Amino acid sequence: MNESSAARWRRQATPDASDPFVSVGFLIAAGATTVIGLVGYTVMLVERLASARARREELQTADRDSQRTE
């Protein structure tokens, strides 16, 4: 299976792969997608965590206030 699949993907390969500009282009596209995905997720996480924590503060304060009025 090693041989045949290896042979097959080499046979299918186009001159594209040997062209350094095309090669770099695909590498940059993949790298950019990864960075955008990971950094975007981090930003989203931090934002959501901040808003969830703010909400917790809010609820805690409200709880304390209602206890004081009692």
Partner 1 sequence: MTSSVVQGRARLIALVTATVVVSAVALAMMIFYAPTDRVQGVVQRIFYFHVPMAWVAYLAFFVVLVCSVGYLWRRDLRWDAMARASAEIGVLFTTLVLITGSLWAKPIWNTWWTWDARLTSTLVLWFIYVAYLMLRAYTPDLERAARFSAVLGIVGFIDVPIIHFSVEWWRTLHPEPVVVRPDPQAPPEMLVTLAVSLVAMTLVYATFLVLRTALERTRDENREREQRRALEEASYA
Q: Which residues bind partner 1 (CB under 8 A)?
A: 1-2, 5-6, 8-10, 12-14, 16-18, 20, 22-24, 26-27, 29-31, 33-34, 37-38, 41-42, 45-46, 48-49, 52-53, 55-56, 59-60, 62-63, 66
Residue nearer to partner 1 on the CB measure, 1 or 68: 1
> Taking the complex as a whole, how short is the minimal distance between the CB of residue 10 and partner 1, in angstroms?
8
CB 57 within 8 A of CB 51: no
Q: Which residue has the tokens 């304060």?
A: 61
